[in-house]
Amino acid sequence: MSSTTLPRFTLTGWNREDIVNPYPVYRRYREVAAVHRGEAGGDAPETFYVFSYDQVAQVLSSSCFGRGRSLDATAASVPVPADQKALRAVVENWLVFMDPPRHTELRSLLNRSFSPRIVTGLRPRIARIAQELLSRLGRQVETDLVEGFAAPLPILVIAELLGIPAERHGWLRTNALALQEASSSRARRDTAGYARAEAAAQEFTEYFREQVRLRRGSAGDDLLTILANAQLRGAPVSLDAVVGTGVHLLTAGHETTTNSLAKAVLALQAHPAVLEELRGADGLTADSIEEFLRYDPPVQAVTRWTHQDTTLGGWEVPRGSRVVALLGSANRDPARFPLPDALDVHRPADRQLGFGLGIHYCLGATLARAELEIGLQTLLNGLPTLGYPAQYVDYADDMVFHGPSRLILVNPGERFCQ
C-alpha cells in the first residue's frame, strides 16, 4: 500500500530537475510499494501507478488489462477531446490504442514490413542517411543534435518506408511536431496545442487518403502501397486504419528514436570512460544498445485499463480503473537489474521494457534498434564534439514521450578560432 509520507503520485507538474532525471523520484516510490494509488475525485477514474518490474510486466502482458477503456474492442479509449474530430479519428486508428480483434488484424498486415529481413535490407540506407545528416552538421561552432540529427534520421527512414517523397520531409516533421502538442501532459498546459494538432491531423488525413487512392492497384513495396492493395484483396483494414497507421508511424515512430538517440548521447557525456571505450571498439553490440534503452527509455509510461476486477501489488483494482505502467521505473528496478543506476554496456541483455511487452510490444522495435545503433555509431565515428559536455539541454515537459527537445553541442576549439 502507498505510504502516507509520500504525496500522491502524478505525471504532471514536475520541476525541470526531476523531468531531466526522473529516476530518483521513481526510486522513492518504488522502495515504499510496487503500486501506488493516484488522486481520485470527480469524474476521474481510479488511477494506479505501477513502479516495479514484475508488476509492470504483469500489466503489459495480462489480458486483464487493455488499451480500450471497455471490453468493446471497437471503442478505442483515446486521450483526445470529442470536438477534435480529425485528430480523434486519426488517433482512434493507431495500433497502440487497439485491442483484439482489430489489433490482431492490422498488426498481422504490418508485421512483414517491420520484419528483421526488411530492416536488414534498410540498414545501408539508414547508414547513408545518417552520414548525410552528419556531413550537414559540418564544423559548425554550435550544433543542435536534436534538430540536426536525432529528429530527421527516423523521419527520413519512416518516410522511405512509407514511400513519401523527399520534398515532403519538412512538412512531415512540422506536422508531426504539431501532433505531439496534443499529448495529454502537454495539452493540460497549453489548450491551443489541440488546435495545432487538429490542423495537422486534417492535413495528414487529406494527404494519406489521396495517397491511398493513387496507390491502389499499383506496384510497389512501400508500406502505403501494401496497405492500399490489401484493401483491394478484401483484407479487414479500413481506409481510416490505413490513414491512422501512416500518421502513427510518422509521429510515435520517429519521436521514440529521436529521444533514444539524444538520451544515449547525454548518457555517454555523463560517462566519458564509456564513450571512449565505444569509440575505440569495432562496433556497438546488441547488449550495449539494450543497455541504453534500459538506462533511459524513450517512453516512460503507458496506460492500460482494467477489463475485470483484479489484484495488483496488494491493491484491489476494480474493473474500469486506469493503470499507468512506469517503464522507466521498471527498467531501474534493482530486483531485476543489479546496480540499475549504472550505465553498463557489458550488462548481459535482459528483457528491458522500453518497448513494452505482450501484444502491444512495439511494432517497430527492430527498426528502432537499428536506427539507434547506426545513428549512434555514426556520431561516435564522426562528431568530435560528442565528447564535450552539452552547452544547453532543454527537455520537453512530457513524462510519457521523454527526451530533450534541444541538445546544443559546442566545439570549444572552433569557437576560439572564430
Q: Domain map of the chain by residue range?
A: 16-417
> What is the number of helices (H) and of strands (E) in the chain?
18, 10
CATH 1.10.630.10: does it fit domain 16-417? yes
Does residue 361 sit in helix, strand or coil?
coil
**pLDDT for position 2:** 45
Does residue 69 sit in helix, strand or coil?
coil
Q: Give the C-alpha separation, 302 to 23, whole Å.
A: 16
**pLDDT for position 91:** 74
Neighbour count for residue 42 (Cβ, 10 Å): 5
Mark residue 130 as left, alpha or beta (left: phi above 0; alpha: psi -120 to 50; beta: remaining). Answer: alpha
**pLDDT for position 96:** 65
**pLDDT for position 95:** 67
Instruction: Specify which residues 311 forms β-bridges with.
Output: 316
Residue 172 corresponds to which cell in the numbers above? 512531415
Strand order in the sheet with 404-410: 142-144, 404-410, 392-395
pLDDT in tens, the chain (418 residues): 445 589 999 998 899 999 999 999 999 999 999 999 997 655 678 899 999 999 999 999 998 898 766 544 444 455 666 777 778 877 777 766 666 777 776 777 677 667 788 888 889 999 999 999 999 887 677 889 999 999 999 988 988 888 888 888 888 888 888 887 766 545 445 567 788 889 998 999 999 899 988 988 888 778 888 888 887 776 767 788 888 888 888 777 778 899 999 999 999 999 999 999 999 898 899 999 999 999 999 999 999 999 999 999 989 999 999 999 999 999 999 999 999 999 999 998 778 999 888 877 787 888 999 999 999 999 999 998 888 888 899 998 889 989 999 999 987 655 434 4
Neighbour count for residue 406 (Cβ, 10 Å): 15
* DSSP string across 256-316: HHHHHHHHHHHHHHH-HHHHHHHHTSSS--HHHHHHHHHHS-SB-EEEEEESS-EEETTEE
Does residue 324 sit in helix, strand or coil?
strand
- The pTM of the full predicted model, rounded to 2 decimals, is 0.86
Does residue 362 sit in helix, strand or coil?
coil
What are the CA-CA distances from residue 105 to residues 101, 238, 261 (Å)?
A: 6, 11, 32
Beta strand pairing call for 322-326 and 47-50: parallel
**pLDDT for position 381:** 93
Q: Give the C-alpha separation, 317 to 311, whole Å.
A: 6
What is the end-to-end Cα distance of the chain in Å, rounded?
60
Q: Give the C-alpha separation, 38 to 59, whole Å.
A: 16
**pLDDT for position 412:** 61
